[in-house]
Amino acid sequence: MKYVSYLFSLLGLLGLCSCVYEIPLVEKATKPIDSSLAGAWQKIPAAGEKESDWTETLLLVPFSKTEYIAVCTPSRDEAAICLPGTDKILFRAYPIEIADLSLIQIEWLQLYSKNGTRFQVCRCKIRDGILTVETLNREVVDPGITDADLLHETVLENVKNPDLFSNPVQYRRLEQ
């Protein structure tokens, strides 16, 4: 179940206000994925939100023993960053571990912004079949960090900080 939390952390990618970095926290994908987690997932509307006709989904496909390819259909507000001519966003995702934190790193496969930011780090919890995903908190880990060692050091310094992650989003598995 440890890799369940790794994998679904990538769903936090839809929290576009979260920290996105120019550099990865971890360079290489070395931790094995759990291929049984592949499939389709759907965002659960936040409390007070109505479910709309626009469905935010994620299709997770194993790419190698250590990586996934994620194909996302984001919200209408986020559709401007999709692949030209589609309503999809593509990501490379892989499990990483920093100190005692089991995380997943996400790499946007199309440019996130003009300044080249394209990496995110997430964590998640699955309880009663509901996945909660959180991304690094920009108030704790500055998205302007451009040095890999400083990024790694900042995360390590805040491992026990309860505010290290923010922007929780919940998902459920789609029936196949």
Q: Distance between CA atoms of 154 and 131, rounded to whole angstroms?
A: 26
Distances from the Cα of 25 to the Cα of 6, 48, 96, 154, 173, angstroms: 14, 35, 9, 10, 28
Question: If you search the block for the tokens 């299709």, which residue do you land on?
Answer: 59
Q: What is the pLDDT of residue 19?
A: 75
pLDDT digits (tens, 9 = 90+) for 27-54: 899 998 876 667 788 888 877 777 665 5
Residue 39: the pLDDT is 77
What pLDDT score was predicted for residue 52?
63
Looking at residue 79, what is its pLDDT?
57
pLDDT averaged per 10 residues in sequence order, the chain, 176 residues: 39 50 90 76 80 72 92 68 69 90 86 68 78 88 93 95 92 79
Number of other residues whose CB lies within 10 A of the CB of residue 96? 20
The pLDDT value recorded for residue 4 is 38
pLDDT at position 40 is 81
pLDDT tens across 123-144, in order? 867 778 777 788 999 999 999 9
